Copies of this chain bind each other. A is one copy, B any other.
Amino acid sequence: MLITEQELDTLFSWIEEYDTIIIHRHVRPDPDAIGSQLGLKVLIQNAYPNKRILAAGTSIESLTWMGKMDDLSKDDYKDALVIITDTANQERIDGAHYDEGAKLIKIDHHIVVDEYGDLQIAYPEATSASQLITEISQRSNDRLPMTDEASELLYAGIVADTGRFLYSPTPDTFEAAKVLVGQDIDTRQITDRFSETAIKEARFQGFAYENIEFHEEGVASLLITREIMEDYDISEDATNIVLNIPSNVKGMYTWVNFIEQEGDNPKYRVRLRSKGPAINHIAQAHGGGGHAMASGAKANSTEEMEEIMKELKEITTEYKANLA
């Protein structure tokens, strides 16, 4: 358990005190942002049916299955308690006026880069904001008892941010999951929402598994032409479902997809990934950039595509030599 008693006491007394409570989360929300936001909304509304509990921010079509946002105006913030979930810095808060309430609370699991709010419940040790909201309910002494609806939202948030318990689950993560599956929820259905694919996408994955080139240097590559996208009826964005196939293949440390463009400038969009050496300097040298293990670039010709392959093979060979 992460949250201090003092933080909980302040949180519950402010929830008790204010009749309007507005909950924000970050822009471009993922299921943990929405799950923590709407999960907390449902918990407070259930415990205090006479209060106005509002969710602020843009609605995202792909996540409407989780619930809807409310329409808000500046007036709503008068004498309101404002809670921000899953958002490390104020620039990323979705929605205006968040600083015009009576009190501001931050509930977040990211590394602390911006200490905002009158109360900050910020624990980078938590896998997700949804895990923290679950802990708040569990330790509320029935002031915010868990409900089935909140449980579905929070379970989705935890599953999304941990890659279904793959990324660094701790005892607290499983304690939260235990609380949530104690409610009447269909965990399989929630999880399936994240991984459901269409038949045509399954066929396209077949193409990828059959055609990825696995090079002895530990580099895997796949060329996706316009013709292939047409044959499989797959949009350029949707091609990324096959990007990480090589991540599980024995002996592969870096991999790349070359996606043919409509015109010639650039000729290929390049998606670079690694579980070994940093690859972002290669991306930077080819009109792109990104993270050490996940970058994007461009190749203006077949020659530039071959150059990128050569550079990837060099750094991967060097990386493998240092492993041994």
Contact = CB atoms under 8 A, between A and B. Distances in A.
Interface of A: 164-171, 173-175, 177-179, 181-182, 187-188, 191-192, 195-199, 202-203, 205-212, 214, 245-246, 248-251, 275
Interface centre among A192, A208, A210, by most chain B C-beta atoms within 10 angstroms, is A210
Interface centre among A196, A209, A211, by most chain B C-beta atoms within 10 angstroms, is A209
Contacts of A168: 187-188
A209 B203 contact: yes
Given A203-B210, A208-B206, A209-B202, A166 B191 contact: yes
A176 to B, nearest CB: 8
B164 A165 contact: yes
Given A209-B202, A209-B206, A275 B188 contact: yes
Contact of A182 (B171, B188, B212, B214): B171
A197 B249 contact: yes
B165 A202 contact: no
A169 B187 CA distance: 8
A320 B98 CA distance: 46
A181 B210 contact: no
Contacts of A208: 206
Interface centre among A178, A211, A251, by most chain B C-beta atoms within 10 angstroms, is A178
Contact of A205 (B169, B188, B203, B209): B209
Contacts of A174: 174-175, 177-178, 181
Contact of A171 (B170, B178, B246): B178
